Amino acid sequence: MPLITFSSPEYKDKTVYAVAGSFTETVLKIAKTNKIPIDFSCENGECGTCVIKVTQLGDNAPMGYHLEEKEKAILLELGKVSKDELEDMIVNDLPSKWRLACQFIPRDEDILVEY
Ligand code: FES
């Protein structure tokens, strides 16, 4: 069962289980359910308010994730990724270390989410 550890300089770290069947839930939804105060606004991948840094924990190779065009555009606009980094992620099936919490649906791996 994957563990998601939420970490912020302003709050105590909190680790939650992403329970079975929750692989349709975004990190933002999981955070809200667990009363973790990630900032958000549009909840639709358009404002960038909910940007988070994601680190894969454990020994397994990190899973690649498909990013929708609007998320790529916001991450580029925020300067979190470059066009070259995006291309590298697509070609080599690598995860982005920056994601939008309202768009990111974690899978079966332990992750650290910094917000
Ligand atoms: Fe606006 Fe996630 S809340 S992009």
Residues 4-22: tens digit of each pLDDT: 999 999 999 999 987 655 6
Structure-block tokens of residue 108: 């079966």
pLDDT, position 20: 56
Chain centroid to CA 115 = 10
- Residues 84 and 67: their CA atoms lie apart, in Å, by 15
Q: What is the pLDDT of residue 108?
A: 84
Structure tokens at 31: 């955070």
pLDDT at 73: 97
Query: Is 32's C-beta closer than 6 angstroms to any atom of ligand 1?
Result: no
**Weakly modelled stretches of the chain, pLDDT under 70:** 1, 19-22
Hey, which of 102, 104, 105, 113 would you mutate to test ligand 1's pocket, going by the most ligand atoms within 8 Å of its Cβ? 102
Q: Which residues contact 80 (CB under 8 A, 6 or more apart)?
A: 51, 98
* Strand-strand pairing, 98-100 and 11-17: unpaired
CA atoms of 52 and 114, how far apart (whole Å): 6
Superfamily of domain 3-114: Beta-grasp domain (3.10.20.30)
